[in-house]
Amino acid sequence: MDVRTEILSTAARLFAERGFDGTTLQAIADEVGIRKPSLLYHYPSKEELRRSVLDNLIGHFSEVLPRLLGAVSRGDERFEVLVRELLTFFREDPDRARLVVRELLDRPAEMREQLAAGVRPWVSLLSEYIRKGAETGELVPDVDPEAYVVHVITLVLAGMAAGPVVTGLVPADSREQAEERHVRELMRIARSSLFATTRGE
Amino acid sequence: MDVRTEILSTAARLFAERGFDGTTLQAIADEVGIRKPSLLYHYPSKEELRRSVLDNLIGHFSEVLPRLLGAVSRGDERFEVLVRELLTFFREDPDRARLVVRELLDRPAEMREQLAAGVRPWVSLLSEYIRKGAETGELVPDVDPEAYVVHVITLVLAGMAAGPVVTGLVPADSREQAEERHVRELMRIARSSLFATTRGE
DNA sequence: ATCCGTGCCTACCGCGCGGTAGAGAAACGC
DNA sequence: GCGTTTCTCTACCGCGCGGTAGGCACGGAT
């Protein structure tokens, strides 16, 4: 892996762990194994580095977008695939969820704009499908589509961001098992509060 | 309000807004209208101030605990009251939720211990009730009680911490209306994924 | 052979941080 | 009246921060 990439992933990890303000360029440089000015050669300021980390995250997300798009148009299993895809994205690297949550807290104004531009269309689209499903009786009639979608996203994001800290409240033999229970129940809640008739898994 | 209290609430607000690392003692002192050393006279270090802010938060929470306790033993309306009480606690000051989430991210190890000591007993207690309800058929049979409780708490906490940033995804005439929809749907999700038969509100 | 761009370094800068020393004003007990 | 306590202040400290200046080694193009 080349140095630029190594800096990027190290920065992402430390920003997620300690926050932007809690991370020093020195700490990043140390972990990469270079001096601070070398780091600043590749990313001319800390702020620029932050932007790059975020762009990289968004880039990775847009890689799974096609699969999400596919899921929406695939009829019956839509829902399962959609949520599970979202879940997988954050689960394969919990730093992603933590970065998003931190950004949400640290820069609410900017984040609000970004969400309005990048996520709201999605929420609207999914809400349309839900509204139709509610009319045909396949889905529960009293669902509030937009709010529902937001809650499901919140649940996935917050659950993955908190990680072991919160799954630790679920007694289990291993961390994996606790996580498994966590995810299963998340899917169940999302499903059973949306579909009119409970379906087997 | 005396100075000590004023420092405490200002610190809480700024820690919630900008994070612990992102807040300087100077900024707190400025907003209170005193000099930095005066602040350090009342709270001899930044770390001590952080602890005091957290203790204060926990103190306020333990004020609502009796009402929560009451709710658990009050039979049928238990659930509604319980969730709504929790919701109210964080809604009457969203900084509380933000502080908790930040602490969760910044100090996962310490937070894990604190949760294990202070929250897990509650999760267990509620889970017991849910398990009984599931056996009598009043509640859905396939619920995972511990995981369910954790998810509901997550939903409340994350929803309130994100605040307008995320409710902004729900189209509405006013912020209040968006929040109202948000809370309603939260209650609906929590209820409909727990009770076997859907009940009117 | 030389030139130039790339990448990394050592040395350093100014600044704002958390925190300290110590003096002065006000309020209180005796 | 007078010492003591409580509180706030001015002045300062050392440190680690993000960032800069400038040099040196290397490699490819001419």
Dump the DSSP string for B102-170: HHHHH-HHHHHHHHHHHTHHHHHHHHHHHHHHHHHTSB-TT--HHHHHHHHHHHHHHHHHHTHHHHTTS
- Nucleic strand C contact set for A 6-65 (CB, < 7 Å): 34-38, 41-42
Q: Which residues of A33-57 are buried (b: 16+ CB within 10 A; e: fewer)?
A: ebeeeebeebbeebeebbebbbebb
What is the pLDDT averaged over residues B105-116? 92
Whether any strand C atom is under 7 angstroms from the Cβ of B36: the reply reads: yes
Q: Beta-strand (E) ranges in chain A?
A: none
| Cα gap A172→A186, rounded to integer Å | 16
pLDDT (0 to 100) of residue A74: 64
Minimum mean pLDDT among A101-115, A178-192, B39-53, B63-77: which range?
Answer: B63-77
Which residues 134-193 of chain B have a CB within 8 Å of chain A? Answer: 140, 142-144, 146-151, 154-155, 157-159, 161-171, 181-182, 184-186, 188-189, 192-193
Picking from B2, B156, B189, the residue whose alpha carbon sits closest to that of residue B90 is B156
* β partners of residue B139: B195
Band the pLDDT of B174: cuts 50, 70, 90.
confident
CA A159 from centroid of its chain's CA atoms = 10
Band the pLDDT of B57: cuts 50, 70, 90.
very high
pLDDT (0 to 100) of residue A199: 44
Band the pLDDT of A90: cuts 50, 70, 90.
very high
Q: pLDDT tens digits for A125-138?
A: 888 888 887 778 77
Which residues 111-130 of chain A have a CB within 8 Å of chain B? Answer: 111-112, 115-116, 119-120, 123
Q: Is the per-residue pLDDT at B69 higher than 80?
A: no
DSSP B1: -
What is the pLDDT averaged over residues B165-193? 87
Q: What is the residue-averaged pLDDT of chain B? A: 89
Whether any strand C atom is under 7 angstroms from the Cβ of B31: the reply reads: no
| Cα gap A165→B37, rounded to integer Å | 37
- Tell me the one-letter amino acid at B68: L
Q: Is the per-residue pLDDT at B199 higher than 60?
A: no
Q: pLDDT tens digits for B119-163?
A: 888 888 888 888 887 778 776 778 899 999 999 999 999 999 998
pLDDT (0 to 100) of residue A76: 59
Q: Is the per-residue pLDDT at B73 higher than 50?
A: yes
Min Cα separation A2/chain B (Å): 29
Minimum mean pLDDT among A78-87, A124-133, B71-80, B141-150: which range?
Answer: B71-80
What is the pLDDT averaged over residues A132-152? 84
* Interface contact flag, A154 B150, Cβ < 8 Å: no
Sign, Cα dihedral of B50, B158, B18, A54: positive
